[in-house]
Structure 1
Amino acid sequence: MNKLLGFVIFIFATNAYAKDIGVVVSVGNMTELNSTDFQKKTCDQVYAIAHTVSESKTNVTCRTHDQNNFSDTELQAQKNTNDYHLRIILLAKNRLSLEITQWSRINNSDFKTLSQNFTDSPDSRITKEMALSRSIYNFILYAHNSEKIKTTFLMYGLEESNSIARDEKTDSFIDKKTGDPISISQAVARFETEAPSHLNYMRAGVEIAAQLAVGAIFYYKNISTNKLDFDYELLNGLKAKYITGKGIRFDDNDRLTNYLHEYAGYIYYQTARSNGASPLASFLIAFAGSAAWETFEYHEVFSINDQIMTPVGGYVTGEAFYQVSCSLLKNNNISSSAVGYILSPMLAVNHAIDKSKYGSRYATDSDCAKSRWSDINFYMGYENAQKSWKPSTLSTGFIGLKAEVINVPLYGKNGEGKGLIYGSPLNKILLEASNHGNRMDLKIIAQTAMTAYYSRIVTNDQDGKAMGYDFVAGIGSASTWNHRDALKKIVANDEIDSSKQLVPSDEDYFGTINILGPLVHLTTYYKGWRIRAEFAIYGDFALVKSYAIDQFIAQEGDDGLPAEIAKRGYYFGKGYTIMDSLSAEYGRLRISYSGQYSSESVIHGYSRNKKLVTRKDEFRDVYQTNRITLNLRLSKKISFELAEEQLLRSGSINGNYNKSENELRSMGALVYRFH
């Protein structure tokens, strides 16, 4: 892991070995054909950016786009001596376009053309020229480091190659048979042609680079809000992050921005996974993608919380959703495929490409085509809930998806065996949302096991009923996000207060990245009964709204507190989570229990405003749920379910300020079983 960290920093934080590039820029103005003001201004802008991005040389040739000459012979003559062509056209007063063509395309995974349109924001806070500048900056940074990025991906795919290897002494790629050194472009070309999955593996690098660029564009379009987090310029930002370490801190973004970093990691992870990468390789790629973002956005601190939530949270949700989606796709029907691809959008993108290119959506993602045991259910129903902010009981609708996928040989069937399993033997997800007028509750839970030991003996008794057991014990990770009483319409920071995002005092959010822990699964079969018990305990990194924060601030104020607490009301914490369940099934009837217990306490010393923090108050919070469910199967696909859930929530600050509440839910739902 230390080698990986050093390599990622080398790839994304240095320019010492970045290559020189040649760029031709054609600028056109469709609004004033005879004016050269836009062309001159844009060329000056590109020159300035090109000479600040990298210490390597950027040869820029800026010219007027010949709008009257379709063949543009002058442009064609530039291809042999330049690497890229940028066409920038002012289409209207408030709209311009950027098209990037790679002339020096060598490998099949290299992009051919990228394009993006830019408009002025409605409130004039960000102009199309500012967004264009950021996009060009990211492109030039990528162009200078494209070989480094290829090297990164290729190094972690070498174990699957039969023709190339890495010579650690000379730090170069070599031919496995002859030992002769080969260039990175030659190595990539050989790797891509060995198997379709190798080409897709390299394609993942291009897709993630594009995702980073798109993320930066959206980030820059919200510059008036995001600039509140700016602490550095380019050089002192990189120094603080990678040399002195003073820029390695928790950030103080709002709670949804921080949680959505897990979604970014999920996209990075699934981009690699759906291109044929293993779970470990996909995690490393998500880690590198997150590190790249933290480096590219040099204005801000290198966010500790983002570097945990993006790769670890992305791995958990990405792998669990991948397993569920692949199981749904095996049904070979429209509804299952639609849900599968909604859960895993990058799977949809790359499967569509492979289907058109190779005739099979599994051509480069053979892992997805494997058979799996699964239990995947969509449900919707009605509930009565006692909320803390409303004295009377609320009646409302809710929907959800709960799924379990088990990759254990012959699980649920007759047979016996034992051994170690790698590659996600146990996976679970739970998605649930309910509506309360202008508020909603949202619960997202994902669990996956990295590796496990299994032992099983299942036979039939004299009546033909299953008897025996399936036992699995392993190591895994999880992720939970419980958001209660959230306003449906999230109000932007700058529409309320430039320094604080105000949320309802009774809104609650409790998120955990359950980094690592042991888990046990036992299913026993006896005389028609199927009894299952599951238990897992994890060490956590958490983002928690302090449940006692209101009375604490009212009495003691927020001076001297860490920025995330003073501005947002949440803290980053450490602790543990226990997840357990027990079920008994006979015939059409199943009764079950499931629970979660999370206990978290504040982490001190890493706040963004560390120099201003004068207090070390002890924040502690607990989130606990217990749910009992009765399920009656009406047909092969449909069942009816009743459930009673108790939620216990408590918070304490310094032992002096305490708050605890008990919420009850009574639910009834129709359940549709996909698989």
Structure 2
Amino acid sequence: MTALVTLLASIVQAADPEPPPPLQLDPIPDPVFDPFANAVRVDRAPSLGPPPFRLWFSPDVPFGARVFPGPGNTPPLVLPGAGFSWELDPHPWRVMRAPCFRYRLAAGATILALMTYGLTDYWVHMSDNVVDWELSWSTPSFYKKAWTLEAVRFDTNKFETNTYTHPAAGTMTYLAARGAGLGAGESFLFSFAGSVLWEYLGEYREKVSLNDLILTPQGGFAVGEPLHQLGLFFERGEDNLANNVLSLVFSPFRYLHRRLEPGHAARAQARGDLGLPADTWHRFDVLVGVSAEAGRDGLRFSQRRIGVSTEIIDVPAFDHPGVRTKRLDAGDVTSVRLVGSVDDQGVQQLDFVTRVLLGGVYDQKVAPDGRGGRRGYAIFAGPSSGFNYAKHRQEGMAEDKLGVANALGATVDLTLHHGDARARASVDVYADFGAVHSMAASAYIKGRGDAGLKTVVADKRYYFALGGTVRPTLSLAYRRFELGAQLTYDFFESIEGLDRYQERVTNDVHLRDRRAGERVWLSYTLPGDKQRLAWVEVEHLDRWGRMGAFRASHASTKFRAGITFRF
């Protein structure tokens, strides 16, 4: 009965149109950055009266259920987190004064400003876009786009436009929302909303591009979150020119937001020799070397190898002795790998891969072994996402290209310690959507022509596909040596019935492609310097494709060697 009376009293209070007296307010102070939780927490001030039914904001609300107490003795409210924030305050003036309202307002304003710039560029180059104008600002056009979905199709843009220009635009809108203070899930929604707004209103004279609605926000998240984490990492380093510049480069909106609201971030208390945070495990590699490809005339040593790779595991206990079990939040584990080979004709091979853990669980039990080494394990697992752009100029064939959104999958990563030896094994499994260069399209068109084929297949030799990726990795380290291997296997199946000009497609033939890559490397940390490693690597790539009865395949083997600078 007491709980019922309390609930009724809170409902009457919520229905009161007059604001409560000043002493009854439950103020929300400015957010306080918690460097170890990688989140902004809100410390509530004590209230002189019963608190309203309100959920405070956190930019990094973790995945999983969240429990919020109700007023008085009412039952608590349980809501899913997934990186979102919620408010159910019956007094709107309090919501507008909360930090989350300012964060969302700033995120929305920044995204609209970016879209205004894009819209200006769109109309300045109107002659390049008029070819796609099939609709108008009219009820029938929006009826086809929003209700029947008849005008929602795959577009016919260039491969590069669809696979890295649009994901790059999604990265900017995602970073705008993330930098304004929003969480990962909410920033994704802002980026997705920006993409929808652009497709339906910005390009109102065109059909809605289904592939852009997928690749732009998903690519924006899978690329933007690792960049945001890099920006946070350097932001927490020593207050010097290098860290400030890197923070600005990787997360520019976060940097500007912090400058406008001093005190929003805190520097790490423990820092390494280079002024980088010592409480967050990281590995940054910059590599240079040479690459040779095995061909009919032997090895060709005309390629220069350059690349960078980053990995941040924001778990203070990782790689340190101790026993710990904790929940992981979105963005606690991120990695980026960008490597390529260049010859006299330009880029010969390029591979860009990202990975973002969406949440999960971490468990470790590591202890010193009494002889300077360690014994034990550390493991984390959870849902994950990623993005992969790759191209390869093949001998005697058209350039092979892939732009893949690793939309949703799972990651398991296990590290074992035994004395001076360390083994780390991980596996990523994803469901994919992407644009894929067809290995067999050229042979098919040469044999049967391009009449009635999908537009992008006939004109540009690629197609939109669903598929999957499996990527296991294993590394064994002993003192200064490390031996590693990685296998990447992708398969793709074309999507029929959604061509931009589907009514013209009379031969909607099915396409499929496969990619299998094996990479083995050996590295040695040079004596007296833990930041330089000499390495050798062998990589073999098999590509296979089929279109109707036509098949094509290609295989290549690369031998590489060089120096890696590790930070």
Aligned to 1:465: 373
Give the SS at the match of 1:649: strand
**For residues 445-594 of structure 1, what are the structure 2 equivalents within 5 Å?**
445-485=353-393, 506-594=398-486
Aligned to 2:151: 247
Aligned to 2:302: 395
Residue 226 of structure 2, aligned match among 302, 306, 320: 320
**Deviation sequence 1:31-55 (CA, Å, 0-9, x none):** xxxxxxxxxxxxxxxxxxxxxxxxx
**For residues 520-669 of structure 1, what are the structure 2 equivalents within 5 Å?**
520-634=412-526, 635-654=529-548, 656-669=549-562
**Structure 1 pair 204/255, CA: closer, same or farther in 2 (3 Å)?**
same
Q: CA separation in 1, counterparts of 2:195 and 2:320?
A: 41
1:479: how far off? Answer: 0.9
Aligned to 1:27: none
Aligned to 1:224: 127
Letter in 2 for 1:620: R
Residue 412 of structure 1, aligned match among 308, 312, 319: 319
**Structure 1 pair 576/174, CA: closer, same or farther in 2 (3 Å)?**
closer
Q: CA separation in 2, counterparts of 1:471 and 1:274?
A: 30
Q: Which shows bigger deviation, 641-650 or 283-292? A: 641-650
Letter in 1 for 2:541: L
Q: CA separation in 1, counterparts of 2:242 and 2:534?
A: 21
**For residues 11-160 of structure 1, what are the structure 2 equivalents within 5 Å?**
159-160=56-57
**Structure 1 pair 578/657, CA: closer, same or farther in 2 (3 Å)?**
same
Q: CA separation in 1, counterparts of 2:87 and 2:490?
A: 51
Give TM-score, length-normalised by structure 1. Answer: 0.66
Q: Which shows bigger deviation, 448-457 or 323-332? A: 323-332
**Structure 1 pair 214/254, CA: closer, same or farther in 2 (3 Å)?**
same
Letter in 1 for 2:182: A
**Deviation sequence 1:306-326 (CA, Å, 0-9, x none):** 111011111111112222332
Letter in 2 for 1:293: W
**Deviation sequence 1:112-166 (CA, Å, 0-9, x none):** xxxxxxxxxxxxxxxxxxxxxxxxxxxxxxxxxxxxxxxxxxxxx975299xxxx
**For residues 309-348 of structure 1, what are the structure 2 equivalents within 5 Å?**
309-332=215-238, 333-342=240-249, 344=250, 347-348=251-252
2:180–2:257 Cα contact (<8 Å) kept:
no
1:354–1:361 Cα contact (<8 Å) kept:
yes
Aligned to 1:494: none
Letter in 2 for 1:266: T
1:464: how far off? Answer: 3.1
1:576: how far off? Answer: 0.6
Q: CA separation in 1, counterparts of 2:195 and 2:316?
A: 35
Pair 1:286-2:222 in alignment = no
Aligned to 1:34: none
Give the SS at the match of 1:393: strand
Aligned to 1:257: 161
Pair 1:432-2:326 in alignment = no
Give TM-score, length-normalised by structure 2. Answer: 0.78
Count of residue correspondences: 473
1:590–1:631 Cα contact (<8 Å) kept:
yes
**Structure 1 pair 354/428, CA: closer, same or farther in 2 (3 Å)?**
closer
Aligned to 1:208: 111
**Structure 1 pair 188/434, CA: closer, same or farther in 2 (3 Å)?**
farther
**Structure 1 pair 377/517, CA: closer, same or farther in 2 (3 Å)?**
same
Give the SS at the match of 2:359: strand
2:55–2:88 Cα contact (<8 Å) kept:
no
Letter in 2 for 1:471: I
Letter in 1 for 2:197: A
Pair 1:442-2:347 in alignment = no
1:221: how far off? Answer: 2.5
Aligned to 1:23: none
1:268: how far off? Answer: 0.9
Q: Which shows bigger deviation, 418-427 or 602-611? A: 418-427
Give the SS at the match of 1:575: strand
Unaligned runs of 5+ in 1: 1-156, 163-172, 487-503
Aligned to 2:97: 190
**Deviation sequence 1:320-363 (CA, Å, 0-9, x none):** 22223322444435445544543x2xx234414532x3444637
Letter in 1 for 2:422: R
1:425–1:452 Cα contact (<8 Å) kept:
no
Q: CA separation in 2, counterparts of 1:585 and 1:336?
A: 30
**Deviation sequence 1:581-628 (CA, Å, 0-9, x none):** 100111111111122111101011111111111123121111222111
1:386–1:394 Cα contact (<8 Å) kept:
no
1:174: how far off? Answer: 10
Give the SS at the match of 1:234: coil
1:362–1:369 Cα contact (<8 Å) kept:
no
Moved over 6 A (4+): none
1:576–1:600 Cα contact (<8 Å) kept:
yes
Q: Which shows bigger deviation, 419-428 or 592-601? A: 419-428
Q: CA separation in 1, counterparts of 2:117 and 2:217?
A: 18
Q: CA separation in 1, counterparts of 2:243 and 2:478?
A: 27
Q: CA separation in 2, counterparts of 1:349 and 1:408?
A: 25
Q: CA separation in 1, counterparts of 2:199 and 2:504?
A: 23
**Structure 1 pair 306/370, CA: closer, same or farther in 2 (3 Å)?**
farther
**Structure 1 pair 380/329, CA: closer, same or farther in 2 (3 Å)?**
farther
1:240–1:246 Cα contact (<8 Å) kept:
yes
Q: CA separation in 1, counterparts of 2:566 and 2:230?
A: 13
Give the SS at the match of 1:418: strand
Letter in 1 for 2:331: S
Letter in 2 for 1:527: G
**Deviation sequence 1:224-283 (CA, Å, 0-9, x none):** 222222221122332211022101111111101101211111111111111111111111
**Deviation sequence 1:199-226 (CA, Å, 0-9, x none):** 3442111110011111112222222222
Q: CA separation in 1, counterparts of 2:244 and 2:483?
A: 30
Q: CA separation in 1, counterparts of 2:264 and 2:302?
A: 44
Percent of residue pairs bearing the same amino acid type: 27
**What RMSD, in angstroms, separates the aligned Cα atoms of the two structures?**
2.8
1:175: how far off? Answer: 9.5
**Structure 1 pair 209/541, CA: closer, same or farther in 2 (3 Å)?**
same
| Larger relative contact order, structure 1 or 2 (CA cutoff 8 Å, min sep 6) | 2
Give the SS at the match of 2:306: strand
Q: CA separation in 2, counterparts of 1:222 and 1:374?
A: 43
1:510–1:623 Cα contact (<8 Å) kept:
no
2:306–2:340 Cα contact (<8 Å) kept:
yes
Q: CA separation in 1, counterparts of 2:563 and 2:513?
A: 34
